[in-house]
Amino acid sequence: MFLSSADSLLLVDWLEAGISVTDILRAMERAREARRKQRSKFPLTLTHVKRHLGRPTRGVFAKQPPTRGHEPPFAPVVRTLQASPTSSTPEHHELVERLTAIELGDGPQAVRKALTHVRTFLDARWASLGEAGRQQRRVLAEQELGDLLHLVDEGTAKALVEETARDLLHKEHPCLSAASLWELVGDDG
């Protein structure tokens, strides 16, 4: 996500007010999902995220107690990834190795590391799709967005299609959401 001047100022205000990066990431996930449900015709900005700050979020591991002891903190994510139909890709193998290497230690630091690896993984998966695979995702995104694309200018339509196409890829891995990762370290952020 690239920040506009207004979004940059809003982010600085939030951080200066003591709002944690975790709360901001969770609010972004909630805003993204809400916008997807209502088929918003505007690209995601922090202004859209603002109303979601401080609201509860549940990830896929909400009913699973945090891991403690000898098992790595993100072992449930690793198991979920290994059961994935695309688990044989080099990107999956690399993500599994990196998540397995993270020790619990400081909960926020562990999640930051995991989120960095997740972002790298998703970017690598997007690139590995090749132009044909990315175009296929864009077609699916256009179908999902439907008539909404006719209500916006060409640049906005293109941005919405790209955002939705990448979101479709991310939705294939719900265990990689910030909320899910935070649940595993047992920290509210």
Return the axis-axis angle of helices 130-145 and 154-171, rounded to nearest 10°.
Answer: 110
What long-range pairs does 7-15 form, CB within 8 A, spacing at least 24? 7/45, 7/46, 7/47, 10/46, 10/47, 10/50, 11/46, 14/53
Q: Residue 57 has what pLDDT?
A: 67
Query: Between 4 and 88, whose confidence is greater?
Result: 88
| Region 5-27 average pLDDT | 81
Q: What is the mean pLDDT of residues 179-184?
A: 83
The predicted pLDDT at position 157 comes to: 84
Taking residues 161-173, report their average pLDDT: 86
For 116-125, write each residue's pLDDT tens digit.
999 999 999 9
Q: List CB contacts of 16: < 8 A, sequence separation 6 or more.
A: none
Please indicate, yes or no, whether the overall pTM of this predicted structure exceeds 0.85: no
Flag whether pLDDT at 9 surpasses 50.
yes
Rg (CA), the chain: 17
CA proximity to 186, closest of 111, 116, 102, 98: 111
pLDDT at 5 over 80: no
Task: Average the pLDDT over 136-140 and give the result.
Answer: 93
Q: Torsion-angle region of residue 66: left (phi > 0), alpha (psi -120 to 50) or beta?
A: beta
Instruction: Give tens-digit pLDDT for 49-105.
Output: 888 887 766 676 766 665 556 778 888 888 888 888 777 888 888 999 999 998 877
Residue 70 is predicted with a pLDDT of 74
